[in-house]
Amino acid sequence: MRNRIIVYFLLLFIGASFIGGSVFTTYNEFVSEGILKERKEVVIPKGVGLKQVAHLLKKEGVIESPSIFLIGVRASGNAGQIKAGEYSFPARSSPKMVMTILVSGETYIRRLVVPEGLTSEQIVELLDKAKGLKGTVHFIPRNGTLLPDTYHYSWGDSKEGLILRMQRAMDRTVASLWETRDKSVPLRDEKEAVILASVVEKEAGLSKEMPLIASAFINRLNKGMKLQSDPTALYAVTDGKYNLKRALTYQDLKVKSPYNTYVINGLPRGPISNPGKKALEAVLNPAKTNYIYFVADGTGGHKFAATYQEHQQNVSVWRSIQKKARKKVKDAQAEGNETQVKLNTFVDKTETLAKEN
């Protein structure tokens, strides 16, 4: 059998010499460095023949000669072994290396990063934009059912298949963390854990603060206080779209909604986002503090307080930071307007001189 393959290989390369080169030259071109300048991904569709593959590779700039590629593949006995899929070819891949990659079936693995805190609708939008995913997500999953993470997939995988993987990942993660939870946390079941985690996820600017934010909310729940979380009010005002192009107002905080924790007692009706693992860990094993309040500190984090008086001091500092920030913006805008006026005057003068000359 081996001898027949060798003979077939030699006959093909001898035939190649009639195309325009010696046996040695043909073989040398098959194993030599290719023309591809940088790594490239190419999709080999299902059902295409070897000749179509060769011409596709030529079109994509992976190989220079379809004839050399065809002869080499056939001589190697791999004419029927090339598999469909998306493949990544390194720079300068020889035709032989290209063949080896296609025969291996080791397709290019893509990845989709799903950030924490997105709604399910936003995650589906990410899937719709992801290159290579097929199909349609017919029903938007409920918030809190998809685990944010980095997901790997291959060209042609389905969007709904990836959604299912996210749902299973969330189920496994929540179940595992629930078993190791702090039993003193006043959350009755896994659903309530996901709801509170979704609020913590939207409140936290820094992941390291999540256990502190969670502790403040847990302390409020234990005292029967309203959570008074701005993200829940924003969710109520925008119906979960998070695209309010202005700051929340006092009137917004009064909007009657089962999600607005300025109005209702306890937790919102359901999750307001899809929380990540760190937020889930934070609510099920929060820091041990006496914090009740927290406010932004101007650096991306928060200032925490156990008393209302201390909280008011922190709020005053935050308002001072905001005031200075607004002044900088206003000054920059004024300076920009002044520069624009000078520029317009210069242009007008230039145009006048040009006309006079």
Tens-digit pLDDT profile for residues 113-156: 999 999 999 999 999 999 999 999 999 999 999 999 999 999 99
Q: Taking each helix axis as running N to C, give the angle between helix 190-203 and helix 210-223, from 0 to 180 degrees, rounded to the nearest 10.
A: 120
Q: What does the pLDDT average to over 89-111?
A: 94
* Residues above pLDDT 90, as percent of the chain: 71
List pLDDT tens digits, range 103-114.
999 999 999 999
Residues in the chain: 357
pLDDT 10s digits, 307-343: 999 999 988 888 888 788 777 777 777 776 655 554 4
Q: What is the model's pLDDT at position 349?
A: 40
Q: What pLDDT sits at residue 11?
A: 55
How far is Cα 254 from Cα 262, in angstroms, rounded to an integer? Answer: 7
- Dihedral angle computed from the Cα positions of residues 161, 167, 173 and 174, in that order, rounded to the nearest 10 degrees: -170
- For the chain, the domains span 2-104, 109-169, 184-308, 309-357
CA distance 102 to 23: 24
* Distance in angstroms (rounded) separating the CA atoms of residues 111 and 303: 37
Least confident segment among 2-16, 59-73, 215-229, 230-244? 2-16
For the chain, how far is it from start to end, CA to CA, in angstroms?
A: 91
* pLDDT at position 17 over 60: no
Strand partners, 89: 40
The class (CATH top level) of 2-104 is alpha beta
Element containing residue 305 per DSSP (H, E): strand 302-305
Task: Give the CA distances from residue 55 to residues 51, 59, 62, 72, 83, in Å, rounded to whole numbers and listed in that order.
Answer: 6, 6, 10, 14, 16
Mean pLDDT, rounded, of the chain: 87
Query: Which pLDDT score is estimated for 236?
Result: 95
pLDDT of residue 339: 54
Residue 340 has a pLDDT of 55
Mind listing the pLDDT tens digit for each residue in 259-293? Answer: 999 999 999 999 999 999 999 999 999 999 999 99
Does residue 83 carry a pLDDT above 90?
yes
pLDDT score at 15: 52
